Amino acid sequence: MPTKLTPLKDLQVLTHQIPSYNLTPNTTLHNKPLLIYRAAFPPPLTTASLIESHLTSIGVVIPQWRYTMYSTSHFHSTSHEVLGIANGRARLCFGYEENAGRVVEEVRKGDVVVVPAGVAHRLMEDLEGGFSMVGSYPKGCNWDMCYGQAGEEAKIEKIKDLPWFTRDPVYGDSGPVLDV
């Protein structure tokens, strides 16, 4: 049975360009925004298994873990990241908490966050307890951990060479990642 998604015409999508901060490039290297798909997977029936199964069926990303988000700002230089919110509500910070151009958003079960490589992110507050996500990465990409520290410059430089999505990881042949 196919997954019931919020129809694209009804999907609310938040897009954020985030300026660089010290050695954290955020969206400046490839100019692709942070995207938040509100309730792409309509709650209350959303589960981690459903998110994993659907993302696997689309075939753009491979689900790799179920967990919360680290409370330390970090980013990935080798992969974009797709986060399907499987449980709870949380306040997340994107772009580094000291960055005047940071973005703080509350996400909840059913949302999907597309985090471009180089965009710092961290958990600020688990609002209900038990906040968890499915973390997925484009096929062929292995994620790394960067913290915007000296010595990471060569990794950061490679971010601009990462290809963007050619299909939407949630909706397939059409969808928000293709419109940016």
What is the Cβ-side half-sphere exposure of residue 112, based on CA atoms within 13 angstroms? Answer: 31
Which tens digits make up the pLDDT trace of 99-149? 999 999 999 999 999 999 999 999 999 999 999 999 999 999 999 999 999
- Tell me which CATH code domain 8-139 carries: 2.60.120.10
Which tens digits make up the pLDDT trace of 54-106? 999 999 999 999 999 999 999 999 999 999 999 999 999 999 999 999 999 99
Strand partners, 66: 134
Which tens digits make up the pLDDT trace of 1-56? 567 899 999 999 999 999 999 999 999 998 999 999 999 999 888 999 999 999 99
Q: Using alpha carbons, select from 41, 47, 24, 36 the residue that is nearest to residue 150.
A: 24
CA distance linking residue 12 with residue 21, whole number of Å: 28
Place of tokens 């970090």: 74
Contact (CB, 8 A) for 112 and 41 = yes
Residue 108 dihedral angles phi and psi, to the nearest 5°: -145, 170
Single pTM value for the model: 0.97
What is the Cβ-side half-sphere exposure of residue 55, based on CA atoms within 13 angstroms? Answer: 32
- The CA–CA distances, whole Å, from 150 to 55, 57, 153, 179 equal 35, 39, 7, 34
Amino acid type, 88: G
Residue 45: predicted pLDDT = 85
DSSP 115-156: E-TT--EEEEEESSS--EEEEEEETT-----B-S-TT-HHHH
Host H or E run for residue 54: helix 48-58
Side by side, which strands form the sheet with 12-16? 12-16, 34-38, 112-115, 81-87, 132-138, 61-67
